[in-house]
Structure 1
Amino acid sequence: MRKRVVITGMGVCAPNGIDLQAFAGALETGRSGIQFYPELEKLNFRCQVAGKPNINKNYINKYFTSLEQRGLMASGLIYGVIAGVDAWRDAGLTPTEDETTDWESGVVFGTGILGIDKLREAIHLIDERKVKRLGSTSVTQTMASGISAYLGGIIGAGNQVTTNSSACTTGTEGLIMAYERISSGKATRMLAGSCSDSGPYVWGGFDAMRILPRNFNDKPEQASRPMSASASGFVPGSGAGALVLESLESAIERNAKIYAEVLGGAVNCGGQRSGGSMTAPNKTAVQKCIREALLDSEIGADEIDSINGHLTATAKDTVEIENWCKALGREREDFPLINSFKSMVGHCLAAAGSIESVGAVLQLSNGLVYGNVNCEDPHPEILKWIHPSRIPQVSVRKAPKIVAKASFGFGDVNACVIFKQYNS
């Protein structure tokens, strides 16, 4: 029999909020964190707007010692540590400082590219035959597992400590991995999350692909337009999200605050067949993933109150809505309320699933469904499937009981997780 799994702590480092309270307030009021960056203009980027957490030196001092801050630090690692430590503390847990290993706690913290600025510095130093100047932290800041290893050391984790990487699906996939480890009895609690570096070396490839918006450099807050007829590409973002998943027994024993219950989820791949490719989804696989998530969660499609979609503000938004409708067997006014937080934070790449999962769970704990920004003109192809009332323009005070969160990433990989309002 599977153990019940709940969420007892959350942390976030997002473009529109670098702590849980600020992030929740921004989502509720529709405040964007997308800005114009002169650096991108100087580098001749077509898209010169992006989402990046606004962190100052004093804030970093709360999480890193002066010794740890020597040299160039990977931005994704900074975001991940902030979100991860905040989530752990929010759960009422204290990072261990003694020599005791916590065998019941583990970490699954994903990333796509980590420490690309540090890697660039290393390449130049090596090419200049100055390898001795690389410093002792270059390896930990450029290896993908650096973030999970760093967090594992902070909390003294003795259970599984690993980093997953599945493009835009990374954060949601990692959360499901953590859920499965606890539900099977292999761990008591897991710190799950993901992070993504910021900056031109991460975003440049997407700009070269011409899939970023070019006509909103003078009005950045309007640039990210999921489900909109005037959408012209996704806005690149960065940051980190983290959630503490814990067995219900442990949470009750600790008298911990419970945000929501994780009912189940599913992960699959379309195999880049039947219309699927490195950048396009296999419709059958997406629908199968959603249905299998419902099956794993032991709920019916009619029980979903709200969906937080992947919905990136590209041409594939219309396909995603079609897939949701077919997978759930629900259309028009019968369709759940749906939103995309990318309108306010951009597409945070590997960090997207975890940042958005934090927002999805906040809806359950705060009793509302957050509104969509920049979607006053829903795409006509979307309106063939669902009624415009299903795309709230402002936050709705309607307490959802069950929320579905999905991510669909490069490589034709999919993940869908089901969150439920906790009931003892």
Structure 2
Amino acid sequence: MENRVVITGLGVCAPNGIGLEEFGNALENGKSGIRFYKELEELNFGCQIAGGPIIKNIDLNKYFTNIQLRGLEATGLIYGVISGKDAWDDAGLKIPEDDEPDWDNGVVFGTGMLGVDRFRNAIYAVDEGNVRRSGSTTVIQTMASGISAFLGGMLGCGNQVTTNSSACSTGTEALLMGYERVKSGKAKRMLVGSCSDSGPYIWGGFDAMRILPRNYNDKPELASRPMSVSAAGFVPGSGAGALVLESLDSALGRNAHIYAEVLGGSVNSGGHRGGGSMTAPNSKAVQHCITQAIENANISQNDIDVVNGHLTATTKDPVEIENWSIALRRKGMDFPYINSFKGMFGHCLAAAGSVECVGTVLQFKHQKIFGNINCEDIHPEILKTVDESRIPRKSMSHKPEIIAKASFGFGDVNACVIFKRYSKN
């Protein structure tokens, strides 16, 4: 017998808010976390704006020991630990105090590149012949699985503890990996999520590709424009999001708060065929991913009343909307409400899926559809598919029942998950 899987904890470290209250209020009120970075200007970046969490007022001793904080430079690891530990606490879960790990709890926490700043400094030390100066924590901070290992050890998890990496779809894929483990009964609880480093060594490659907006350095809050005809490229971001997935029986047995139920989902690849490439999705694969997610969730296309898209503020936004329309077999006024949070914090890269999943689930709690900012001028190709009223510019009162959330990543990889308002039936 398969388990029903529910969400009992959330945590987030995002450019426009750290913690559920600050982040949820920012999404509801359309608050941007995109800002100008003097460092990027000094390094001659074309795009000198980005979205990064502001942690200077966060007491890191709540998350790390003084020893762990020494030489800690991996921003993605910091963001991931903040969100992961907060999600665990939000779920009301305890940390084992004895030498026995909790065999029922595990972690799937993804990343793209981890500890780039630390790696840079270590390389310089080695090149200068000062190997010892590279630091004894360099490996921990720079190995991709450092974040899952760190959280797994912090929380005493004895089940699977691993890291996945699939570009922009990493966080949504991690959620589905944890979902399958709980659903099959191989774990009672899984902490899932993803994180991304911040800074010029992460964002520089995208600036070199000339796919970032260069005309908004003096007005950063207007730069990320999903679904807009004036969209000029995605704004790079960073951060982390985390969710605690738990079997329904376990959650009910300890009287846990339940945010939503995970009905199912799908991951696939376009195989770099049919127009798919390292940087562009194969539309048929995107449609297939959405269709398979709906089938796996055992619902119909008409059951979905809200979509949170990938929608990065590039020329591919109209194509994504068309793919949703084909997969859902819906258009015009029949199209679900759709939103993109990237207008408020940019594209958080490997963290995008998890940060946006947290925001998506918060819509059940707030009983709102969070609004889209910076799309006053919706792309005319999108309006051929979707009625303008289905793209709310401001948050609107609505009690969503089923929300589809998707992430489409570099490398032609896709992930789609279906969330449902929890009910006992």
**1:365 touches 1:421 (CA, 8 Å); kept in 2?**
no
Other-structure match for 1:288 = 288
Within 1, Cα distance between the matches of 2:227 and 2:178? 31
Other-structure match for 1:196 = 196
**1:174 touches 1:192 (CA, 8 Å); kept in 2?**
yes
Within 1, Cα distance between the matches of 2:158 and 2:403? 32
Report the secondary structure of 2:119's partner residue.
helix
AA matched with 2:408: F
Report the secondary structure of 2:252's partner residue.
helix
State the Cα distance separating 1:100 from its structure 2 match.
2.1
Within 2, Cα distance between the matches of 1:262 and 1:286? 20
Other-structure match for 1:10 = 10
State the Cα distance separating 1:71 from its structure 2 match.
1.1
Cα separation, partners in 2 of 1:302 and 1:58, compared to 1, 3 Å: closer
**CA offsets, 1:56-108, max 9 Å, x none?**
16522221111111114200000000000000000001233431210000000
Other-structure match for 1:265 = 265
Within 1, Cα distance between the matches of 2:135 and 2:35? 33
AA matched with 1:81: V
Within 2, Cα distance between the matches of 1:31 and 1:98? 43
Within 2, Cα distance between the matches of 1:30 and 1:11? 19
**1:88 touches 1:95 (CA, 8 Å); kept in 2?**
no
Q: For 1:336-415, what aligned pairs fall within 5 Å after superposition? A: 336-415=336-415
Within 2, Cα distance between the matches of 1:113 and 1:217? 26
Other-structure match for 1:302 = 302
AA matched with 2:278: M
Within 1, Cα distance between the matches of 2:65 and 2:49? 32
Within 2, Cα distance between the matches of 1:106 and 1:81? 15
TM-score (norm 1): 0.99
AA matched with 2:316: K
Report the secondary structure of 1:68's partner residue.
helix
**CA offsets, 1:272-295, max 9 Å, x none?**
001101111101000000000000
Other-structure match for 1:234 = 234
Report the secondary structure of 1:61's partner residue.
helix
State the Cα distance separating 1:135 from its structure 2 match.
1.9
AA matched with 1:293: A
**1:63 touches 1:81 (CA, 8 Å); kept in 2?**
yes
Indicate yes or no: 2:147 matched with 1:147.
Answer: yes
Within 1, Cα distance between the matches of 2:403 and 2:189? 22
Within 2, Cα distance between the matches of 1:47 and 1:58? 28
**CA offsets, 1:3-23, max 9 Å, x none?**
100000000000000111100
**CA offsets, 1:342-363, max 9 Å, x none?**
0001100000000000000000
Other-structure match for 2:62 = 62
Indicate yes or no: 2:205 matched with 1:213.
Answer: no
AA matched with 1:87: A
Within 2, Cα distance between the matches of 1:353 and 1:344? 15
Other-structure match for 1:251 = 251
Within 2, Cα distance between the matches of 1:28 and 1:72? 33
AA matched with 1:340: S
Within 2, Cα distance between the matches of 1:365 and 1:2? 26
Q: What is the number of equivalent residue pairs in this alignment? A: 424
Other-structure match for 1:128 = 128
AA matched with 2:375: C
**1:182 touches 1:247 (CA, 8 Å); kept in 2?**
yes
**CA offsets, 1:258-306, max 9 Å, x none?**
0000000000000000110111110100000000000000000000010
Within 1, Cα distance between the matches of 2:414 and 2:186? 24
Could you say what the CA RMSD is over the residues aligned between the two structures, in angstroms?
A: 0.7
Sequence identity, in percent? 69
TM-score (norm 2): 0.99
Q: Which runs of 5+ in 1 are unaligned?
A: none
Within 2, Cα distance between the matches of 1:359 and 1:191? 17
AA matched with 2:320: E
Q: Which runs of 5+ in 2 are unaligned?
A: none
Within 2, Cα distance between the matches of 1:32 and 1:57? 18
Other-structure match for 2:109 = 109
